[in-house]
Amino acid sequence: MEKGDTITFQGFGVFTLWQQTQREGRNPRTGKQCIIAPRTSVKFKPGKFLLKKLNKS
């Protein structure tokens, strides 16, 4: 993932990188606003078989 590649586990799901943009945040204790810096994060998309197992009726 450090190289920007997607990781796929067949039947489980896919991990992909995405860029979060800079945004305004707030300290919940003080209420003071601050800027949250942009960063790279990971998204997970579950696979068909994992969803089928989790949602058995």
Nearest to 15 by CA among 23, 25, 4: 4
> How do the pLDDT tens digits run along the chain, 57 residues long?
888 899 999 989 999 999 999 999 999 999 999 999 999 999 999 999 999 999 986
Residue 34 sits at the vertex; the CA angle it makes with 32 and 37, to the nearest 5 degrees, is: 160
